[in-house]
Structure 1
Amino acid sequence: MVDPADERATKLEQAFHTFNLEQIIGMLREELHRPIPQLRANLRPIFEAAQTQEMNLLSPPADFHDWLQTPLRQIQTGGEARANTIRARYATLKQLYDALIDLGVMDNNPAHGCPLPPPEHSQAPLPSTADIQRLLAEAESTDEELFAALTLIYQQAFQLTELLALRWSALDFSRAELMRARTITALRAESLAALKPLLSRAGGPLHAPQKGQRVFSFKNADDVRLQLWKTCQAANLTPTIGPRELRLASLRDFPQAPPGSGFSNPQAYERALRHATTLTELKRSK
């Protein structure tokens, strides 16, 4: 009898050789944690270019990073894609390769280290602490899962991709610690309290980690954004608060060592902190 995992890997390899993007997305949508239209839009330019040039994306050439610059940047109307679009395409491709590594299809990520343009940062001022507290109070009264998610974003500077991938096995409640992709974070008391109702629903600290299940049931990042938008509407918050603004507000309101905010690179943490400070000063000057 063929191992189902081996059969899945074989089908993925075949799909890559025929550049069947739809089949690949269908088989890996759970691992990629993104809406299908977004996956399709981000990966299509790369797959179309590879098919035209008959490039094997499972075993790309040594100059793969140079080659990627064209499909990452091209747009149908001519000209060059915006920096954040380029970075989104790259992030999706890198995540795709990471999923293939986890499944044993590949041994390393050929996209890793590809040079990218710096991100474009919004200059919209950050929400006030009072507005964030109104948002959290509304979420706590209506949706304990969303409340826990927003608490992790605000208290621990979580990214949406981290939330969607977080499993109970990454949490150590006895130590109040959480293992993230690059660091181990000490959970603040508010974060720990927000997670406890979800932990109880999942079977408690003895059973939930063993099941390997995800902490949050959100389908994708857009699902979180939609619930957050509805909660902002209910709390009469205008403009609405997005996940990115909430995370930057975390750096403003809870200064801590980089690992506490999920940063393993001190320079990256300092850049993010400077940006949050700039947006705070922008609001004060208005």
Structure 2
Amino acid sequence: MTALRVLRHPDLSASEQLDALLPLLDIPGVQKVLRSNLKPVFEDARTDGIDLSRPPADMHVWLQKPLGRIGDDLGAAKPNTYNARATALSRMYERLRELGAVTANPVADLPRHARERATDPLPSRVELQRLHVHATDPHVRAALHLIDDLAFTMTDLLTLRWAQVDLSRERLLRRTECRLPQASLQALHALARLDAAPLNPDAADQRVFPFDDQQLRARLWQAFQAADVAWVPPSQLRMAALRDHGLVVTASPHLAAHQFGFTDVRAYQQAVDLARALSVRDPDDTAASRGD
């Protein structure tokens, strides 16, 4: 049974749909967590008669219920739970889009809730530069540059395939087409020489970062240790990127949004405004807290 037939099957329960669908999609990440995050959406889609392969025009409005509920208690989910569910759904749609089952990801521009610890200071530019200097793993170096140059999410990294990278044109395709800044371009060239994937047509569908979520996070964490920088999750690295680069792009708001993977200008501007509103941690303070 194809992914599209599973989504449209009239008799399968939400659990049966997920049991059949997830092995077909092979989405990176812990499968039990992914299933748990997707289940409320599939349950409510069944109850409300929503065909997830043909998202309604008011999809973002409808999603507030399954993403935000805990059992029958509407709006009870914490911001991090809401965001985790939205991210899982976005990963699902990205994979369905790659397989040709849907034409677009309807969740790509869904606004996320402020993190429960959104007041945590973001890493400073000095710390980020130190990370780049000390990153020796080619995959980690490329991941850090894509996050810092183009505000890549973990989903973007884990679903990026060589077929979406055009090194000769210095372009990359995710939800939008992006121009590759020099640092990211050089890092991807280094990976291309390592993987030889762009030279082999049969390898075009190979993932640029052949890891699952936990493996890539572990590699990033090791880079933080080597650079003597206090650990922050990739989501905060992305916010720091939007803080530092989000308004530097000399282009129309529409083109600037596309450069950072946003198809909606308003969602892009909201993300940049939030990033610029967060405080920046002092590298000396974080060093002192580690006893340096």
What is the TM-score of this pair, normalised by structure 1? 0.75
> Does structure 1 conserve the Cα–Cα contact (< 8 Å) formed by 2:123 and 2:280?
no
Per mean C-alpha deviation after superposition, the further-off stretch among 79-88 and 149-158 is: 79-88
1:235 match: 227
Query: Residue 126 of structure 1 contacts residue 283 of structure 1 at CA under 8 Å; is this kept in 2?
Result: no
Instruction: Say whether 1:211 aligns with 2:211.
Output: no
Residues 15 and 23 in structure 1, CA contact (< 8 A), matched pair in contact too = no
Could you tell me how far 1:88 is from its partner in structure 2?
3.1
Measured in 1, the distance between the counterparts of 2:223 and 2:237 equals 14
Task: Give the whole-Å Cα distance in 2 for the aligned partners of 1:15 and 1:144.
Answer: 46
Please, which moves more after superposition, 83-92 or 148-157? 83-92
Contact 2:83-2:113 at 8 Å conserved across structures: yes
For 1:148-167, list aligned pairs within 5 A: 148-167=142-161
Give CA-to-partner distance per residue, 1:74-121, whole Å, 9 cap, x none.
22595711234234324434544564566566x678x947x9775114
Q: Distance in 1 between matches of 2:174 and 2:110?
A: 24
Larger mean CA deviation between 13-22 and 241-250 belongs to 13-22
Structure 2 vs 1, CA of residues 244 and 116 (structure 1 numbering), >3 Å: closer, same or farther? Answer: closer
Contact kept, 8 Å, 1:50 with 1:56, in 2: the verdict is yes
Paired with 2:25 and 2:11, the residues of 1 have a C-alpha distance of 15
Once residues 219 and 10 of structure 2 are traced to their aligned partners in structure 1, the CA distance between those partners, rounded to angstroms, is: 35
Question: Tell me, what secondary structure is at the counterpart of 1:226?
Answer: helix
**Unaligned segments of structure 2, at least 5 residues:** 286-292
For the pair shown, the structure with the greater C-alpha radius of gyration is: 1
Paired AA for residue 243 in structure 2:
R
C-alpha distance in 2 between matches for 1:75 and 1:236: 39
Aligned to 1:36: 31
- The alpha-carbon deviation at position 177 of structure 1 amounts to 1.4
Q: 2:218 aligns with which of 221, 226, 231?
A: 226
Q: Distance in 1 between matches of 2:191 and 2:272?
A: 31
Q: Which residue of the partner structure matches residue 264 of structure 1?
A: 263
Instruction: State the one-letter code of the partner of 2:165.
Output: L
Correspondence for 1:199: 192
Amino acid in the other structure paired with 1:128: S
Residues 16 and 24 in structure 1, CA contact (< 8 A), matched pair in contact too: no
The secondary structure found in structure 1 opposite 2:196 is: coil
Mapping 1:23-172, distance limit 5 Å: 23-24=19-20, 26-30=22-26, 32-48=27-43, 69-76=64-71, 80-93=76-89, 95-96=91-92, 99-100=95-96, 112=106, 119-121=113-115, 122-140=118-136, 143-172=137-166
Q: RMSD value over aligned CA atoms? A: 3.8
Return the alpha-carbon distance in structure 2 between the equivalents of residues 104 and 180 of structure 1: 15
Residues 15 and 24 of structure 1 are in contact (CA less than 8 Å); yes or no, is this contact kept in structure 2?
A: no
Distance change >3 Å, CA 174–CA 104, structure 1 → 2: closer
Percent identical residues: 34
Amino acid at match of 1:131: E
> Partners of 1:252 and 1:87 in 2: how far apart?
20
In the alignment, structure 1 segments of 5+ residues that lack a partner are 1-5
Q: Is the 8 A contact 1:148 1:191 kept in 2?
A: yes
Task: Report whether the alignment pairs 1:253 with 2:244.
Answer: yes
CA distance in 2, matches of 1:211, 1:242: 29
Relative distance call for 1:187 and 1:16 in structure 2 (3 A) is: farther
Q: Which moves more between the two structures, 271-280 or 81-90?
A: 81-90
**Letter of the 1:139 counterpart:** A
Asked if the contact 1:87/1:116 (under 8 Å) is kept, the reply is no
Aligned length: 271
Q: 1:187 to 1:95 in 2, by over 3 A?
A: closer
CA contact (8 A) 1:72 1:90 kept: yes
